[in-house]
Chain A
Amino acid sequence: MLPEICLGLVIAGLTAYAVLGGADFGAGFWDLTAGGAERGGRVRGMVQHSMGPVWEANHVWLIFVLVVMWTCFPVGFGSIMSTLYVPLFIAVVGIIFRGTAFALRGQAATISEARILGALFATSSVLVPFCFGACLGAIGSGRVPVGNAAGDPISSWLNPTGILVGALAVITGSYLAAVYMAGDSVRAGLPDMQRAFRARALIAGVAAGVVAIGGLVVLRDDARPLFDGLTSGGGLVFVIASAVAGAATLALVWVERFEVARFTAAAAVACVTIGWAFGQSPYLLPKHLTLDQAAAGHATLVATLIGVAIGMVVLIPSLYLLYSLTLRGRLDQQFEPLDQRFRPLSAKRSHG
């Protein structure tokens, strides 16, 4: 039972990262596709406005997943990290560039500086979730054996399942981001942005659904055990739940109930992660290592749970405070279209 609870922590962390961090990456996707400086200025301003205060906090979920993994499932962790070093390294470099470019863009003085930084920010926003998704695909399809770099460094993740899950990660993130930012636009009183993100949410939502359903065919060919797990028992329940939540989100976005849609969208993602865990149970590394084999000793698992429980007692109220301040607009992040920001500056300069 203890290993399952600890795996639950990993899944909860992954879900939180996918729902919160994933949306940050998705925001980067919309930044990338916003169009030229003038046309995309308002969308980019909205991205800056929504992400500013929260991205560091969202990002810590990733760290949480890593440390719980290596504490509770050390051998699994070592095997995953050493086999999948290529996509993981790309992801790390992407995370660095993304964080830095975003922070820098907030301070950029000219539109061309902002555009270069923005391009860097946006490209890495797509690269990172793709790589993480591909890693999940590699694990789920049984391509990560136990051992020190025992799997193939390339074909373990660049394969139909890996690419599918990578793509799905990018699309889902974009979907989440569009839903959240549509809600933020309502709160900021920007109807044009609200329309823009509503349209984006609808498109991305449909795309996510299509890829997810089409993806099942890919999985059936490429990762049969995972497919079987996802289409029977607990796996099936959560896959269906996810589909329902996804469809409900689309409907809610259609009728512009963005605040509720926030939660159903998050639920859809959560159900997929949980369903996935069911799909590959009882394995941590399908074909190679079961959860029980992978689990650390009793004392470590108990200590981790105690540590996490203590942490949560402090963390949850703090998170609540942060999100409620952000959602009530109490943290001063002004909305400013990215291309507009530079006008007053240059105007001032030319007048002396």
Chain B
Amino acid sequence: MNLLLVAAGQVHSALGESNQSHLLAARHTQALSFIFHIPLVCFGIAFPAMVLFTEGLWLRTGDPAYKALAKRWSKVMLILFAVGVVSGTILSFEFGLLWPNFTATFGDVFGLGFALEGFSFFIEAIFIAIYVYGWDSLSPRNHFLCGIPIVITGLAGSLFVISVNAWMNHPTGFDLAGGQVTNIHPWSALFNSNLPFELTHMYLAGYMVAGFLVAAVYARAWLRGDRSRYNRAALIIPLTFAALATPAQLIVGDWAARTVTKDQPVKLAAFEGLPHTERNAPFHIGGIYEDGEVKYGVEIPDLLSILADHDPNGKVDGLNIVPARDRPPINVTRLSFQTMVFIGTGLALVTVVFVTAWWRRRRLPRSRWFYRALVAAGPLALVALICGWITTEVGRQPWVVYEVMRTKQAVTDAGGLPIVFWLLVVVYLSLLGAVIWLLRRLARSSPEKEVGRSLEAAR
């Protein structure tokens, strides 16, 4: 029955069928661009709030260390924003350059989200410029106020993009009549039912990635012996943000898994590599999926049923509910899902150590291992983020719009896609090199320069 529904529900591409021999190159190009863009997005979501919080501390205490820190961070924010702008521009173009049939067919359904997103980035760009270039010329109060729109638009911008992605996973807001898209309701496509969890999960991920990465920088300085108040503040502030987000993330992850169970059962089956629909479905840690089963993994009975249904006895759909051509690549999806979950659990442990020490003794843990763990936590959070996205995106395959349009229907017929991919590899590597170079150069100048006076002296 399911099969029939799917076949009847498939759309006709607006530009005619695609006939592209390098589909994989197109997909890799898209993935590459996202993997570059998404870490910057985390800073767009979470960093403004941290900077503003620090500036707020300065306004309340008058301690120049806070001002130096906020000012320094605001420069980092500007650099990352600029790189976010260029990498985001590539993404916008890729929608047409790589997937013209997707935009031609569904642009009028999901486009609204991007139009609104455009405005929020616009306003973000404006206020970031005012904020960063206005440190000394605006009054402290006005300067602080100019930071608030950055926080709001950082959140709003990603709301709209995420809504598009949620829609691709759970398409609503239109009808299909004989393969034609009709009766479009852009607002209900925009506010689809997948949005709430994806958005929450991504926001929390933003705070975790930005928080742990920034904390990692100063944890390394701590390990090298920097015990200044400046460094301490620079460590505690982002770590606190991350520590608040991490436990919540586990709960939201559970919410995500249950929604996927309901809306995209095949994707959920791919998380585990569950060949057949069953009750008391187990979860295998590690191992690989081969010949229709998971091999070499550590089996934990009932866990998948618990995850998907909150009931050890719950029935979980297996891959067998759809023919093989409608299943995603199992191992990629599975491995990235597991990596995300393990890292998330590990980061929650780091958080527990931090919170306990703070609660009991009002100070940071003293063990060097805690700081070493923090240095690792930054990159790991980033890995979890990327793995989460790979889970979502690869798990959606072979569909670009779930059960409505196949990825291979969406792709361009243009030539040269492998060349494009390799050129972009070079472009992104140079961009990455440039960012690292810039940030290191910034880090070399002493924070005292930011305020033009000593930071340790009495206020």
Contacts and interface: CB of A to CB of B under 8 A. Distances in A.
A104 B14 CA distance: 42
- Secondary structure of the B contact surface, majority rule: helix
Contact of A71 (B88, B115, B122, B438): B115
Contact of B413 (A107, A149, A314, A322): A149
Given A146-B15, A299-B185, A332-B133, A109 B441 contact: yes
A321 B126 CA distance: 9
Interface in B356-389: none
Given A67-B114, A303-B187, A307-B115, A89 B97 contact: yes
B111 A74 contact: yes
Given A318-B126, A333-B133, A92 B423 contact: no
A331 B130 contact: yes
Given A148-B15, A153-B415, A308-B115, A96 B104 contact: no
A149 B138 contact: no
Contact of B86 (A67, A74, A96): A96
A66 B134 contact: no
A5 B129 CA distance: 31
Interface in B57-106: 79, 81-83, 85-90, 92-93, 95-97, 100-101, 103-106
A148 B90 CA distance: 20
A60 B122 contact: yes
A99 B434 CA distance: 11
B198 to A, nearest CB: 20
B81 A153 contact: no
B16 to A, nearest CB: 6
B134 A96 contact: no
A70 interface: yes
Contacts of A319: 126
A92 B89 contact: yes
B172 interface: no
B40 to A, nearest CB: 13
B300 interface: no
A344 to B, nearest CB: 14
Given A74-B104, A92-B89, A148 B18 contact: yes
B263 interface: no
B446 interface: no
B207 interface: no
B342 interface: no
A104 B437 contact: yes
Interface in B209-256: none
Contact of B108 (A52, A64, A74, A308): A74
Nearest to B417: A85
A64 B101 CA distance: 20
Interface stretch (A75-83, A188-196, A233-241, A280-288): A75-83
Interface string B129-150: 1100111111000000000010
B244 to A, nearest CB: 29
Contact of A149 (B87, B149, B412): B412
B292 interface: no
B271 interface: no
Contacts of A322: 126, 129-130
Contacts of B90: 92, 96
A293 B414 CA distance: 24
B96 A68 contact: no
Contacts of B134: 325, 330-332
Contacts of A100: 82-83, 86, 430-431, 434
Given A77-B103, A332-B136, A67 B92 contact: yes
Nearest to A91: B93
Nearest to A299: B184
Nearest to B96: A81
B171 to A, nearest CB: 15
A56 B129 contact: yes
A335 to B, nearest CB: 14
A296 B413 CA distance: 23
Contact of A88 (B97, B119, B133, B415): B97
Contacts of B127: 318
B427 interface: yes
A57 B96 contact: no
B14 A74 contact: yes
A304 B111 contact: yes
Given A79-B100, A299-B184, A318 B123 contact: yes
Contact of A74 (B103, B119, B123): B103
Given A60-B121, A64-B122, A332 B15 contact: no
A296 B45 CA distance: 32
B139 to A, nearest CB: 11
B118 interface: yes
Contacts of B125: 56-57, 59-60
Contacts of B111: 67, 70-72, 74, 296, 300, 304
Given A64-B119, A78-B96, A296-B107, 15 more contacts: A56-B128, A70-B95, A74-B14, A77-B104, A78-B104, A80-B96, A96-B87, A97-B427, A103-B83, A147-B15, A149-B413, A296-B111, A299-B186, A307-B115, A330-B134
Interface of A: 52-54, 56-57, 59-60, 62-64, 66-68, 70-72, 74-75, 77-82, 85, 88-89, 92-93, 95-97, 99-100, 103-104, 107, 109, 146-150, 153, 296-297, 299-300, 303-304, 307-308, 310-312, 314-315, 318-319, 321-322, 325, 330-333
Interface of B: 13-16, 18, 79, 81-83, 85-90, 92-93, 95-97, 100-101, 103-109, 111-112, 114-119, 121-123, 125-130, 133-138, 149, 182, 184-187, 412-416, 420, 423, 427, 430-431, 434, 437-438, 441-442
19 contacts: A53-B133, A57-B122, A57-B126, A60-B85, A63-B121, A77-B96, A77-B107, A81-B412, A88-B93, A93-B427, A104-B434, A104-B437, A148-B16, A148-B413, A304-B186, A307-B119, A321-B126, A321-B130, A332-B137
Which 9 pairs between the two chains have the least Cβ-Cβ distance? A71-B111, A81-B96, A78-B104, A74-B107, A311-B119, A296-B108, A78-B100, A331-B133, A149-B413
